[in-house]
Structure 1
Amino acid sequence: MTWFSDETLSFLRDLSDNNSRDWFQVNKPRYEAHVKDATAHFTNALNQRLAATYATDVKSRIFRMHRDLRFSKDKTPYNTHIHIGIADAQTGASWMVGLQTDHLVVGYGIFAFEHEALDHWRETVAGPQGEILLELNAHAVSAGLRISDPELKRIPLAWDADHPSGELLRRKGIVWWNDHVPQNEIMGPDAPDIIASELKPMEPLRGWMKLALGAPV
C-alpha cells in the first residue's frame, strides 16, 4: 500500500517545473503510484476516522489533476497540488486537505451555500446565533486559524448597513483553515490519524453548524 511520501512532493515539484502533457505521460507511473494511489489510500483511511469520530456519513471527493482550461488564460494542463474534500452529512460542510509543493493546509466549512441554504444562513446569523459565531470566529483566529474572507462588499439590502453581524451577512460561505500543519504530518501510514487530530480545532464551527443551521435539506 502506497502512502504519501517524499516521492509525492518530488513529483509535484517536478510537475510544477515541467507542466506539459508530454512530461506527464512519461512520468505517469510516478503519478499513479505516489499521487493517485497514495491519495486514494489516505482519503479512504481518513474517511473512516472522521465517520467514526463524528458518527456521521461521509463522502469524499479527490479533485482532478487535469485543469479546466476553457475559461482560463493559464493553459498549463495540470494542477500541481492535491486537494481532498470529505463531505459531512450532518452539516453539509466538508473537511478539506490541501497538499502543495511547499505547504499543507487543512480546513472545515462550506465554500458556497446553495440558494435556500444561503437564505437560511443569513436569517440565522442575523439573530442571536450570529453573535455566538462571531465569538467562535474570534477565538479561532486567536488560536491561529484563518477564516475565509466575506465574498460581498456590502450587507444585503434586507438588513441594516450597520448590523452587528454584518461580517457574517456578507458571506456566501465560511471555512476555517489551519495553515500551520507541518507538511511531514501527511507522510506515511500514521497520517490519517494525525490529520484527523489536526482537524479537531474545527469542531466549534462544526458544532455551531449542527446546532444553528441543522441538517442540510
Structure 2
Amino acid sequence: MNGSGFQPETFRFLGELAANNTRDWFEAHKADYLRFVRDPADAVRGRLVETLSRLCGHDLTSKQFRINRDLRFSRDKTPYNTHVRMAFWPQDTAFQGKDAQPPSFFLSVEADHVRTGAGCMRFSKPVLGSFLQTLETDNGDDIGDLIAHMTAAGFEMSAPDLAKVPRGFPADHPRSGLARHKGLAVWRDVSDIGSLQGANGHEAIARLFEPALPFWRWLMTLHAHRT
C-alpha cells in the first residue's frame, strides 16, 4: 500500500489526528501515520516531481513540510499539523522558506479536501521591485488578465500584505490593489478526494495545476528579468 499513493485511510488518519491532537495519541498510532500518511506522501511527492516537471517544462525539486508544528511563537500548542504539505520549485532556484520563494507549486492534503496552489508567497526584494515596475507599465495588463482567468477557474488569490500601496507607487493606478502584495499566489480547494487516490492519483493531482500554469510561467519570466 505504501507505494500506491494516497488511500481513504490517509484522509481518515488526518481527520482522527485533528480530533486527537496529542503526543500520546500520535505515538499510539504512529504505525498508522507511517503506513497511511508518510510513506504514501513520499511516493506521491516523488512521482509529482517527475509529472510536474514534464508539465511545466522545468526540472523541479521539492520538499515536504514536517508534521510537527513549530510551537515557539504560537498560542496554539497542539503538537501536530493535521495536513500534509509539499512545495515544488525549479532546481536552479533557491527556496528560502517564508522569506522568499521562487515560483512554486503547492499541495496541501487535508482530512476532507486537497488544496493546490501556485505562485510566490513572498518575493525577494529584487523580484518585488521588478513586480512593482511591471505593474506600472502596460505589461501589467497580462497579470491582471491571468488573475481573472484564475478566478474564473475557481482559484482564490492570496490576501494583500499591505493596507496601502508602497511608497512611490501611484495610489490611483488601476493595479494599485496588486501593488499591495509582497508576493502573489493562487489557491483552489478540491473536495473530490476519491479521484486523487491510488497508484495514479499523482497524475490527477498534477492535472489540478494545469489552469495555473500560465500564471506560474508569468512569475518565472518576472524572476528571470528581476532587477
Normalising by structure 1, we get a TM-score of 0.93
> Structure 1: which 5+ residue stretches go unaligned?
none
CA distance in 1, matches of 2:179, 2:209: 26
Alignment of 1:156-195 (within 5 A): 156-180=166-190, 182-195=192-205
2:163 to 149, 153, 167: 153
Which residue number corresponds to residue 99 of structure 2? none
CA distance in 2, matches of 1:117, 1:83: 25
SS class of match (1:128): coil
Contact 1:146–1:179, Cα closer than 8 Å, also in 2? no
Contact 1:5–1:187, Cα closer than 8 Å, also in 2? yes
Q: Given the alignment of the two structures, is residue 110 of structure 1 paired with residue 112 of structure 2, yes or no?
A: no
Contact 1:126–1:169, Cα closer than 8 Å, also in 2? no
CA distance in 1, matches of 2:4, 2:35: 7
SS class of match (1:178): strand
Alignment of 1:34-53 (within 5 A): 34-53=36-55
CA distance in 2, matches of 1:160, 1:176: 25
Contact 2:58–2:90, Cα closer than 8 Å, also in 1? yes
CA separation of 1:90 and 1:208: change in aligned 2, threshold 3 A:
farther
> Structure 2: which 5+ residue stretches go unaligned?
94-101
CA distance in 2, matches of 1:197, 1:109: 16
Q: How far is 1:134 from its partner?
A: 0.8
Which residue number corresponds to residue 97 of structure 2? none
Paired residue type of 1:72: S
Which residue number corresponds to residue 61 of structure 1? 63
Which residue number corresponds to residue 30 of structure 1? 32
CA distance in 1, matches of 2:74, 2:136: 37
Percent of aligned pairs with the same amino acid:
33
Q: How far is 1:183 from its partner?
A: 1.6
Q: Given the alignment of the two structures, is residue 19 of structure 1 paired with residue 21 of structure 2, yes or no?
A: yes
SS class of match (2:139): helix
Q: How far is 1:184 from its partner?
A: 1.8
Which residue number corresponds to residue 77 of structure 2? 75
Q: How far is 1:101 from its partner?
A: 1.1
Normalising by structure 2, we get a TM-score of 0.89
Q: How far is 1:119 from its partner?
A: 1.5
Contact 2:104–2:216, Cα closer than 8 Å, also in 1? no
- Structure 1 stretch displaced more, 206-215 or 165-174: 206-215
CA distance in 1, matches of 2:18, 2:140: 42
1:109-160 CA distance string (max 9 Å, x none): 0101112221221112221221111121112212222111211110111111
1:69-122 CA distance string (max 9 Å, x none): 001111110010111111135782111111111211111101011122212211
CA distance in 2, matches of 1:166, 1:78: 39
CA distance in 2, matches of 1:22, 1:190: 34
Contact 2:157–2:187, Cα closer than 8 Å, also in 1? yes
Contact 2:89–2:105, Cα closer than 8 Å, also in 1? yes
